[in-house]
Chain A
Amino acid sequence: MITRIECANKPDFYDAEAHGVKAGAIDLGMQNIEKVYFSRTTYLEGEICHDDKVAIAEKLLADLVTQEYAIDEHLQHTEGDAWSVEITFNRGVTDMVAETTLKGIHDLGITGVRAAKTARQYVIIGALTNGEKEYITQKLLMNKVNEHVVQQNEHIFADMMDDFFELVHVPIRHAGADELQHISKRRDLYLNLTEMLAIQAHFQTLGREPTDVELEMLAQTWSEHCSHKSLTGLVEYNGEIIDNPLKQTIFRVTQELNKPWCLSVFKDNAGVISFDNDYAVCFKVETHNHPSAMEPYGGANTGIGGVIRDPLGTGLGAKPVINTDVFCFGPVDLSHEDVPKGVLHPKRVMQGVVAGVRDYGNRMGIPTSNGALFFDERYLGNPLVFCGNVGILPRNKIEKTVVPGDYILVVGGRTGRDGIHGATASSGELHTESEETWSGAVQIGNPIVEKKLVDTLMQARDRGLYRAITDCGAGGLSSAVGELAEQTGAEVNLEKVPLKYHGLTYMEIWISEAQERMVIFVPPEKLDEALKVFSDEDVEATVIGKTTNDKKIRLKYNGQIVGELDMHFLHNGLPRITRQAVWQPPIIEESVFDRLNDPGTTLHKILASPNVCSKEWVIRQYDHEVQAGSVLKPLVGINNDGPGDASITRPRLDSHKAVILSNGFNPLYGLIDPYWMAASAIDEALRNIIAVGGTLQETALLDNFCWGNLDKPDRFGGLLRAAQACYDMAKVFETPFISGKDSLNNEYQREDGDSIAIPPTLLISALSVMPDARKAISTDLKKPGNLLYIAGVTKNEMGGSHFFKVTGQKSANVPTVDPVVAKKIFEAVAHATSAGLVRSCHDCSEGGLATAIAEMAFAGGHGAVISLKNVPGSGELKRDDFILFSESNSRFIMEIEPEHTQAFEEIMHTIPCAALGKVTNDGLLAIIGRTDTVLIKETIDDLKESWQKPLRW
């Protein structure tokens, strides 16, 4: 028996969800919509008496203060043309609310309910054609990747499949080249011929054929995602062979700098640096681009969920304390007609991605305190979603120990078919019917399962109940156990792995990428205690195998061996391929135009441009202060709504020590020269650290390359230039890289066959340990009468600038960095801030000097009057508009109280620095040119309005 319970707000009670749907539909051009009713429906399977149904409705599902309910009938809305549509998850997609509902019913003492499923129902009043109804459904109400419209005769609770077992061997030993390539393609292994030949040779030596799971495991371990084979391979560039470009640049600089506070770099799930005598902090940033393009909510949701498990799987487990996110989308104001087929509208992608990060991060109780947004048409088919997480762990828990004879446990979520690439295709013969229902589902994460995992793992860690831990990310158990047990060997009984539903093959179990799972290695004598820690808080923990001493990975299913691979071959058998790289600067014709007559209008345009404008709509939806360690929030100033440069957080409440997080990236520069893009990104990330009162001491960097297909030499050439800049800059700044990740093949194939690569995008994230958070500085102007200074040189570097972007001009003069000069500037500014001489500070980035001072003014609610006459570099530049908007690196604007100017100037005398003007109380931003003409005179209220309006959704 199936029971349907529908709950909705009482008709006279405001329904924000319904209201949002109505607004969204009107946004899509559906003017005829009069009213929307929204209700949540719950389907229950089992023998349930009427009294129990009423109890479930009244005591659990409906909030009787504001809501009404109906059992086995629809709530009635009688007016006008009513069209109703009900949407539910596809089978196999996590339905968290249904799972919790079952618990709630159980808690009420009601038995007999076997399963639950939830749905959302929209009743829409208004004259709509069938085409419009379909349009609203697809564009607004659901995502077909993991949801569908409930059909009249649909079996909400379809029968589950039975378990079955059939050992599959794949004959490759006698296959020719074509056949090998065919096998790789048919099974979605993404292995090229050289790699397939290496596998063939290995099994010829063994004298047997591989099983399907062995092939899959090799494919996963050797995948670009897991092995980074492009960046660690061989590449021919400028007539030279570079062996492992990553090692030659990013790793090398860290090795050469050899900082004692770098505790664990490039070997664990996140890079670890010293925090204080007792604790260390670690940081990791990942991308989740392709899933987010398909299903923004689920993709971003599992993106942040996944990266949280990196610190959790670092050392013996770090407690996650801060999240970061950086997104790149297509233009959100694009008309719907201009969105290519198969691509979601950028606004919908952005809303989904933000909601996905929000719902996971907030529920995990981790503040999301730093991020950035960037818009460009080239991200339309391939948005970028970077998610980062910082964790804290005791210094004596940084190392894992793997010894033979320990139990292997999987802890947390259950395993399903989630994220198995090509699994359906490879087992297609058996599952043709299930394919459509199961395949391609981007999972939705379950943050509460992960929160419970964190809570219990921290207890188990502190009690010393396990010796090693890692997360199940890409490659699932295969990667987790394969990597952790590389030095010993392991035997795993796949039938022991707890499953979400029946019917998975042993191969699917091994490579599933189901969320919220960790693997730990537990010494036999600690097993009972460990199991109790988890069961006490309702976390599933299951012994699935043991570490061995034969350096093999052996997989069994009900006692039968289904796979056995030599660890050495698995991890070192990947043949290296030599790729080609070439780089040529793009040909850009320099724009020639007269000096701007009305730079004030341009300033408004820059402030209102999507990359510069206020991101408050996003930031407020994230809990950025949970855990109570927030010192400098992402929004600052007199109304808590001005732009901050970096966030500062105290991860330990009993200490004034803090961590500063910042980022730098500018894809527009990458289109001109990836070298200077990388250099600028590093400069930006570091000057943000400096701007909030930090120093270069104990500042570490992370690199995240998002690039196109490196099989194309021009893409690889650009990347090599960027990597070289990483080395050159980090070496001088003495800021080592501690972790990184690359995401390649970010290209989107258009219908006409053309492939559009994203702009070369390098995200630099910086993490800095700040000895005393009470030295923090914010960007907002503090007090009329205080003096304003600029440090750093302004140059004719308009290439990739927002000035040229909003005015349609072009230049190849991309901003450069002189790291030796920059370092001196950074150190001088840090000296001044630590001496307490600086009241506010903001770096000059997108939009240059004029944008920076405007932001400082409206953030602080004070006016300012400045002159360009003494700006260092202005003599050579000769154009006021260039001085206003040049995006030259390594520059800061600072506010100094009159009594501190002498001390301040003494510190600054060794670097380019000049007085600009002062803070005023007239609410005006006035900028005077080199020849004493007034260039800009705007009220700060108007400037702020331009800045806030675009994303005030």
Chain B
Amino acid sequence: MIKVIVLRAAGSNCDVETKYAFDKVGAHADLIHINRLLSGDVKLADYQILAIPGGFTYGDDVSAGKILANQIKFQLAEALQAFHNSGKLVLGICNGFQVLVKAGLLPQVDLARDQDVTLTFNDSGKFEDRWVFLKVNESPCVFTKECKKIVYFPVAHAEGKFVPRNLQVLQQLKDNNQMVFQYTTENGHAPVYPHNPNGSVENIAGICDPSGRVLGLMPHPERHIDPTNHPQWTRLGLADEGDGVSIFRNAVHFFK
């Protein structure tokens, strides 16, 4: 059984549905509070997948995900590096993505490095919940190995605008095929607001590290697991499964 640690902290709030998504594809997910990792009560090494779910950890006070990111960066760096080095997977959704970029787990796993990219306030200046189409690019990402070309997930955030530190960083993301998800339209055309819901540079919605084993994205695949999650299922009929399922299934299949 593939074991998943869904990491909780004060203010995590998509933990239950993230566990539900992993359990649904045959993994066994545990909801673990960060204090139990810090105290050594629970060992990261006992798991194959680390998922940092959405939410407002520590209220997103200071900036989104910052406090949890610093806890990981300064107190769990070694465990995280070892976890990654041993070929295991890390997934950060929404607040989890914000944590990954601020902790130094994306765009590459180097916790000692200064931040290369960030997720900052939406151009609209407010929190928005809406469904978006995502282009799934060719990438080393293991979470999208078998996946539709365009997927449909909701975003729900105030700080989701992806910004690289400079053009070189952006170029590197392109060169390494790290731009896993880009906002698009239903037909795959270049998006403007609200299809790009936050003003992200290059319409970037999610990136992976060069190994493809660390993925972060702002949209919520765990909110499109059951067919009734789709906002238009009463028009289109019920699908066999939601678009989000493949993300979790690919992660579990990676270990088979």
Contact = CB atoms under 8 A, between A and B. Distances in A.
Contacts of B234: 632, 636, 776-778, 780, 840
A625 interface: yes
A947 B126 CA distance: 22
Interface in A628-668: 628, 630-633, 635-638, 640, 650, 653-654
B71 interface: yes
Interface stretch (A73-81, A226-234, A447-455, A707-715): A447-455
Contact of A625 (B117, B123, B154, B235): B154
How big is chain A's contact interface, by range?
35 or more
Contacts of A362: 56, 127, 156
Contacts of B228: 631, 650, 773-774, 776
Interface string B98-117: 00000000000000001111
B85 interface: no
A65 B115 contact: yes
Contacts of B175: none
Contact of A627 (B16, B36, B61, B124): B16
B223 interface: yes
Contacts of B13: 363-365, 451, 626-627
A65 B165 contact: yes
A537 interface: yes
Contact of B130 (A17, A97, A620, A774): A620
Contact of B33 (A101, A537, A636, A776): A537
A109 B121 CA distance: 28
Contacts of B58: 100, 103-104, 448
B127 A363 contact: no
Given A100-B58, A109-B74, A640-B130, A538 B10 contact: yes
A628 B229 contact: yes
Interface in B129-173: 129-131, 154, 156, 163-165
A780 B236 CA distance: 12
Nearest to B59: A448
A549 interface: no
B238 interface: yes
A431 interface: no
Contact of B118 (A14, A65, A100): A65
A452 B66 contact: no
Nearest to A40: B62
Contact of A101 (B12, B60, B62, B122): B62
Secondary structure at the B interface, as helix, strand, loop or mixed, is mixed
How big is chain B's contact interface, by range?
35 or more
A19 B125 contact: yes
B222 A108 contact: no
Interface string A86-103: 000000000011011101
B193 to A, nearest CB: 12
A778 B235 contact: yes
Contacts of B199: 14
Contacts of A636: 231-232, 234
A448 B95 CA distance: 14
A621 interface: yes
Contacts of A773: 228
B126 A621 contact: yes
Nearest to A109: B74
A780 to B, nearest CB: 7
Given A60-B66, A65-B163, A16 B124 contact: yes
A633 B231 contact: yes
A623 B17 CA distance: 15
B188 to A, nearest CB: 18
Contact of A363 (B11, B75, B116, B220): B11
Nearest to A537: B33
B222 A65 contact: no
A507 B154 CA distance: 49
B206 interface: no
A621 B128 contact: yes
A96 B129 contact: no
Given A107-B70, A632-B234, A620 B115 contact: no
A537 B37 CA distance: 12
A107 B128 contact: no
A66 B163 contact: yes
A653 B235 CA distance: 22
A562 interface: no
Interface string B208-242: 00000000000010110110110110110010000
A11 interface: no
Contacts of A671: none
A107 B125 contact: no
A24 to B, nearest CB: 11
Contacts of A15: 121
Given A16-B123, A100-B59, A623-B127, A448 B35 contact: no
A821 interface: no
Nearest to B165: A65
B63 interface: yes
Given A16-B124, A59-B70, A451 B10 contact: yes
A46 interface: no
A538 B154 CA distance: 32
Contact of A60 (B12, B70, B156, B165): B70
B55 interface: yes
B67 interface: yes
Contacts of A59: 70
A379 interface: no
Nearest to A654: B20
B252 interface: no
B7 interface: no
B120 interface: yes
Contact of A96 (B8, B61, B70, B74): B61
B61 A780 contact: no
A492 B102 CA distance: 46
A358 interface: yes
B96 interface: no
Nearest to A692: B234
A622 interface: yes
B17 A653 contact: yes
A105 to B, nearest CB: 10
B54 interface: yes
A452 B234 CA distance: 36
Nearest to B18: A628
A64 B115 CA distance: 7
Nearest to A539: B10
B207 interface: no
Contacts of A620: 128-130
Interface string A745-785: 00000000000000000000000000001101110101000
Contact of B61 (A100, A107, A108, A364): A100
Contacts of B91: none
B211 to A, nearest CB: 23
Nearest to B75: A107
A63 interface: yes
Nearest to B54: A626
Nearest to B20: A653
A64 B70 CA distance: 14
Contact of B127 (A107, A365, A621, A782): A621
Contacts of A840: 234
A641 B254 CA distance: 38
A159 interface: no
A624 interface: yes
B14 interface: yes
A179 B134 CA distance: 73
A667 to B, nearest CB: 29
A107 B222 contact: no
Given A14-B123, A630-B223, A653-B17, 13 more contacts: A17-B121, A17-B125, A65-B115, A97-B61, A100-B62, A103-B58, A365-B13, A446-B59, A537-B33, A620-B130, A622-B129, A625-B156, A640-B130
20 contacts: A65-B115, A65-B164, A65-B165, A66-B120, A96-B61, A101-B62, A107-B67, A107-B74, A358-B127, A363-B60, A624-B129, A625-B223, A628-B17, A630-B223, A631-B229, A633-B231, A640-B232, A654-B20, A774-B238, A782-B235
